[in-house]
Structure 1
Amino acid sequence: MSESEESGVVNEWLTRWREGRIGFHRDATHPVLHRYWPCLGVPEGTKVLVPLCGKSLDMRYLAERGHPVLGIELSLEAIEQFTAEGQGEVSRYRQGDFHVYRQGSIELWGGDFFHFHIEQAAEIGAFYDRAALIALPEATRQRYAFHLAQLIPPGARGLLISLVRAPGDDRGPPYSVDADEVRRLFTPNFELTHLEDGEPEDNGWRESAWSLVRRGPEV
């Protein structure tokens, strides 16, 4: 993806939040998270990375189950809405290029996910992706999968929800990412288990759930 194309994606994302075009946001915890997160065996107290988190209520679900949460979101407007809709005092500070908001055990880092580096991810031990991979155009998804792998330590577990649109519907975001592409993107660095394919929704979309385990170094 060229610099101009990437800039266009960023501007589109920010415009959606500014104009309230956030149909991808759910007003309840995702049922896939309810069904499968407990099955991953992520120990209580493990910090969970949530890339491109928006103002997802899934982060509150994770926090209520004893996980510190680190969400990364490009739109500061989304972060402001999340903290305003939550409870508890909010602290704000800068960390490099990021505007960091903390509310309870949830940290929200406002900035570019690709500028978040391993030094800042030292305590992360798990991840959850419901809306990051499918928010990115095809040319950027390989970069995302590689960057995510650099932030996740060997043995760490994660839950991924992908989306397949109806045949012939190639719009986005969210973009259609089928099972073959998920495997192609993540198999080099993760062990994948396909958990389920959801029922088609009224708009023809169908979600799929995957568990991932970060591979260790080759011996």
Structure 2
Amino acid sequence: MSEKTEVVNEWLSRWREGRIGFHRDAPHPALQRHWARLGVPYGTKVLVPLCGKSLDMRWLAERGHPVLGIELSLEAIDQFIAEGQGEVSRFHLGSFDVCRQGSIELWRGDFFHFHIDQAAEIGAFYDRAALIALPEATRQRYAFHLAQLLPPGALGLLISLVRAPGDDRGPPYTVCADEVRQLFTPNFELTHLEDSQPEDNGWQESVWAMVRRGPGV
């Protein structure tokens, strides 16, 4: 069994069994603190990879951003829809089953199967739990694929995480500042915004503003 298959199976098992301690019952404080300073224009569509049922998507939608979340777990999508309000439409695009509620679309499928022609309207992104959910061997592929989906000038907010010293389990996985820079500087301009205070378990988050570079930049 490949490392990617193991990660996918673990992720789906967590949702089926309700082991979702990573889910927050409120929008992420770093998103609330820093999103406005990015200057993302009103109405810009925001990509949220590996979105789960994050309330961050509703927070973004409430501020005038259409949201496109990509998620493997049917349980996560069904729970998000059930916990929301408004009519739901369902349709199929390519290899994805799509649910739309208000200005939020949830695409069920593999992020790596999401292609640039499906991302035509996307102008920004938010990653709180995608990069850190992936094993080291897959993170380079993720960074490259994300870059291919975004037009030059696209703005984004990334939250990375470092676990306590000696704690090398995952997911979520430790992705240190040096790795963030190594992964993204070829295609993005990075600005480190803050490091959180370490949590009781020793985990510490870092927050990054990102801008997709243009050709030759």
Give me the TM-score of the superposition, normalised by structure 2: 0.99
Amino acid at match of 2:189: E
Give the 5 Å matches for 1:63-142.
63-142=61-140
The reply to whether residue 46 of structure 1 matches residue 52 of structure 2 is no
Deviation at 1:92, TM superposition (A): 0.6
| 1:66-120: CA deviation from partner (whole Å, max 9, x where unpaired) | 0000000011110000000000011111111101000000000000000000000
Count residues in correspondence.
217
The reply to whether residue 158 of structure 1 matches residue 137 of structure 2 is no
Q: Determine the C-alpha separation between the residues in 1 that align with 2:107 and 2:118.
A: 11
Moved over 6 A (4+): none
Q: Determine the C-alpha separation between the residues in 1 that align with 2:125 and 2:2.
A: 30
Q: 1:209 maps to which residue?
A: 207
Q: 1:198 maps to which residue?
A: 196
Gaps of 5+ in 1: none
| Residue of structure 2 aligned with 1:178, choices 167, 176, 179 | 176
Give me the TM-score of the superposition, normalised by structure 1: 0.98
Over the matched positions of the two proteins, sequence identity in percent amounts to: 84
| Residue of structure 2 aligned with 1:167, choices 165, 168, 173 | 165
| Residue of structure 1 aligned with 2:53, choices 38, 55, 67 | 55
Gaps of 5+ in 2: none
Q: 2:19 maps to which residue?
A: 21
Q: Determine the C-alpha separation between the residues in 2 that align with 1:159 and 1:5.
A: 27
